[in-house]
Each structure stands twice: as C-alpha cells, then as structure tokens.
Amino acid sequence: MQLREAIFRRRTTNGPFLPRPVSEEHQRVLMEVAARAPSQLNSQPWRFVLIESRDTIEHIARISGESMTTTLAAGSFLERYRPYLRFRREEMQQRRDGMLFDRIPAPLRPLTGQLFTRHGRALMNALGVPRLLGSENRRLVAGSPLLLAVLLDRTEYRPGETSGFYSLFSMGAAMENVWLTTVELGMGIQFVSFPMEAPGAWQRIEQLLRVPPELALLAVYRLGYLPEQEQRPAIDWSSRERRRPSQYVFRESCETAQEGWDEPRAEPGLEPRREPFSPGTPP
C-alpha cells in the first residue's frame, strides 16, 4: 500500500471491532512505526502501554461510559463541540469538516434539531438518552481487543515550556504513524476521549494503570480488526473525497502579522471559507 493511499483511507472507527485478539506481530509493527516518528533531538519522549487484560479493558470501558453519560447529561459536551456536530449529509458536504452523526436511532432523530436548546437537553435527559449513549460507548470500548495508552516523560513534557510543545508534537507524529499503519493491517482505531471530559474520570484511569509520577498519561485509544465490510476500499483518485483547505496561509514576506494571513487558492471543487480572523487565534 502506498503512503498516500493510506492517508486518504485513514478514518476513525466509531463501530465495533472483530473479537479476535490483535496478533503479537501486529502489536510489534505498531510500536515499531511509532518509534520511527521524529522527536526534538531524538528525545523520544513517548511511552506506550498495550492493554489486553479483559478486567482492565472492562474497567476503562465502565469509566468511559459513565463519563459520556455524565458529560452529555450536563450539556457541556454539546455546547463545547456544537460547531463540529453534523446531522445532515447536506451540511457535511457544505462545510467539509466536523463529524456526521448518520446512525442515530430512529426514535431520537426528531430531537436532533433541539439538542442545543435547554428544553431539548431536558427532554433528552428525561428520555434517558445520555444513559443509552453512555451504555453504547461502554460496550464499544469493552469490545475492543486492545487498548493503547500513550504517556509522555515529564523530564521532557513540561507544559508551558518549549519542551512541552516538542513532546506533544512528537507524540502526535508517533500516533499518526500508528493510525496510518492500522489501515494497512486491516485494523481500526478510536480515541477514548470522554474520560477527559468528565471531572475526575481521567485520574481514575491513571490510578487503574498505576501511572508513575515521572510519566503523564496523555491519551488512550481502542484498536482492533475491522469486519471486512467496514474496511476501507481502494482509492479512486479521480473522484476521491475532498476536504476544505486550511482557512489561511501565512506569507512571510509581509511586514505585519495581520497582512501576512491570506486566504489560499482552493483545490478544484473547493472554495476557501471567508470568515473573520483575529491575529493570535489558530487559523
């Protein structure tokens, strides 16, 4: 498989994995490609923990499901990520960003237009929707044959300092290598994010994994093999999915930062977004 094809076939897996264990060979491959990522001065600040213990996976799944229920019931998740939630394909095609929720249970579909109102959230809570979705989240995590915990060495990872940025950048590169390699191996991967949204939940996972004080737990992913029908098809380069370009491009020749940000030339079929930009905020 060519690298460019793996990049375009890369996706987040939102559904279940096959129940069979991830082979030792494939686990080794994933760790080898992670270790090949670039890092400042070759510091390699990352540490990885492969979790196969069913008890540990079940425990993390319980924390994740409870976190999702709590966060959705409070409304904080919907409010925070509202700009990225899409419930119609037409909106997805127009925006070319965000996440499409196209597998919502039939009884809940009429409520999608009310999710961001106080009345809508109260109705969702009364119907037990956060509990149902939390239960589904727990089931997905618990059904994963492998979890991957990603940690950083606090000697290098010092938030607020340059070394903190270097460490996070290196970790991202390592995980991108892992993510792209799962495509080649017929596997899927998903970030187990909800424990980071609920107060105290992440600390429970740290305690469960007995994270030593010299390391910082930054992320947990679930991995497994995909059912054949869920594996990504080969890319048709003549009609591949397109995404919107970056909003702005910086021209170094400009005298001021404000002048330096400019809208890029769009790919064929794409138009750059025209939105206000304030210096100092991410483009």
Query: Do the domain assignments include residue 147?
Result: yes
Give the confidence band of 258 by pLDDT, cuts at 50, 70, 90: very low
Confidence at residue 108, expressed as pLDDT on a 0 to 100 scale:
63
Q: 65-95: per-residue pLDDT in tens?
A: 999 999 988 877 777 777 777 777 777 777 7
Question: Does one domain contain both 162 and 213?
Answer: yes
User: Left (φ > 0), alpha (ψ -120 to 50) or beta: where does 39 sit?
Assistant: beta
Question: Does one domain contain both 251 and 220?
Answer: no
Query: Do the domain assignments include residue 173?
Result: yes
Number of domains in the chain: 2
Question: Does one domain contain both 249 and 274?
Answer: yes
Query: Do the domain assignments include residue 220?
Result: yes
- Cβ atoms within 10 A of the Cβ of 6, count? 17
Measured between alpha carbons, how far is 76 from 82 in angstroms, rounded to an integer?
A: 10
CA separation, residue 143 to residues 80, 81, 135, 180, 216 (Å): 28, 26, 12, 22, 26
Question: Does one domain contain both 71 and 198?
Answer: yes
Is 110's pLDDT higher than 80? Answer: no
Question: Does one domain contain both 205 and 89?
Answer: yes
Range name among 46-50, 127-131, 275-279 with the lowest pLDDT average: 275-279
Mean pLDDT along residues 157-163: 95
Q: 28-55: per-residue pLDDT in tens?
A: 999 999 999 999 999 999 999 999 999 9
Query: Do the domain assignments include residue 239?
Result: no
Confidence at residue 270, expressed as pLDDT on a 0 to 100 scale:
38
Mean pLDDT along residues 92-105: 72
Question: Does one domain contain both 121 and 40?
Answer: yes
Cβ proximity of 218 and 167 under 8 Å: no
pTM, whole model, 2 decimals? 0.76
Percent of the chain residues past pLDDT 70, beyond the cut: 74
Q: Which residue has the higher pLDDT, 2 or 237?
A: 2
Query: Do the domain assignments include residue 39?
Result: yes
Is 130's pLDDT higher than 90? Answer: no
Q: Which domain holds residue 173?
A: 3-230
Question: Does one domain contain both 248 and 220?
Answer: no
Query: Do the domain assignments include residue 237?
Result: no
Question: Does one domain contain both 222 and 257?
Answer: no
Report the CATH number that the domain containing residue 105 is assigned in CATH.
3.40.109.10
Question: Does one domain contain both 226 and 249?
Answer: no
Is 275's pLDDT higher than 50? Answer: no
Question: Does one domain contain both 45 and 174?
Answer: yes
